[in-house]
Structures are given as C-alpha cells and as structure tokens.
Amino acid sequence: MAEIRSTIDIMMDRTRGMSLSSEEREDLRKDELEKRAKGFRLKLLDNPGDAEQILASISGEPEQDRAFLQTSLWNEMVNGLAPGKDFLTHLEVMGKLPQGTAKASLLKELRSAMDSAKKDWSQDIKKVIAREKKKLASLGISGSAVVPKISKSGLDQDYTALIGRFKGRLLAGL
C-alpha cells in the first residue's frame, strides 16, 4: 500500500534547497526595523516622560540597526507631524531624538511659526466674528448668546501647509 503524504511533507519536499537571497533578507530586516520604529514613535508620543528610557533601549541595539532605527524613527516623527492638541508634545519628543538635537533651531523656528500663525488667526477670527454679529444684528438677531459659527477647516489647511513646508527641511540631510 502506498504511503499517504501529508501536506507538510509535500511542502517540505518542494521547498528543500530554497532560501532567501541576502538582498531579500536585508529587505525583511529593514521592514522589521521600520515597524519597530513605528512602535517606538507610538511609545514616545504616549509616554513623553519616558523618552529617555525608550531612547536608551534603542541605543542598546547593534550599531547598524541603531542607525537605521534612529533614522526611521525620525522619519516617522516628521511624517506624523500634524496640527492639533499633541503638536507641542510631538515637537518636544522630536527635540530629544539625536536628529532633533542637530535640528533644534529648525524645530524652534517651526514652533514660533505655528505660534505666530495661531496669533494671526485669532486676531482675524475676532474680526470675522464681529462682522458676522453685525450681519446677524441687522437681521434682528442679537444678544450675548449669539455666537456665529466659524469654520476652522481653512485654519487646519493653513497649519498643514505650514508644517508641510518644514517637513522637507526636517528630512533634508539625513
């Protein structure tokens, strides 16, 4: 009676002698390190107070992996920059990275540009609100409870464009 072979036996026979090329192994290693960099980014943003500890764990990596991890982490942090409540925390964490210390003046410039944009926007929004209240008052709608709704979508687009201009400069020279 003939032996019935399992799927695993058949698969093992067909793949015998096959292995990954060194280029494929290197690509897999880099993919894994990029995933780890994303994980480090999330840890840093979730626990900015533990940044020193998290960065110390990166420095325990082998030299080649460490350099790639640090570069990938910096790229993740820069590409993840977005206007919002966590923007300042994000910049603070970026300043603690090796590339952040080298680009501290650029991070400071970005922070001041965002602060300036917020200040300009708040002054503009006061004018828009006053104009809208006058329009509503002419229609017979007035009082202390009347606050016109002002869309912030334009503001988010302005902030995003401002951050986009800095991203290229932050990534340059790495």
Is this prediction's pTM over 0.85?
Answer: no
Q: Tell me what the pLDDT averaged over the chain comes to.
A: 83
1 pLDDT higher than 50: no
pLDDT of residue 172: 83
- The three state secondary structure string of 89-139 is HHHHHHHHCHHHHHCHHHHHHHHHHHHHHHHHHHHHHHHHHHHHHHHHHHC
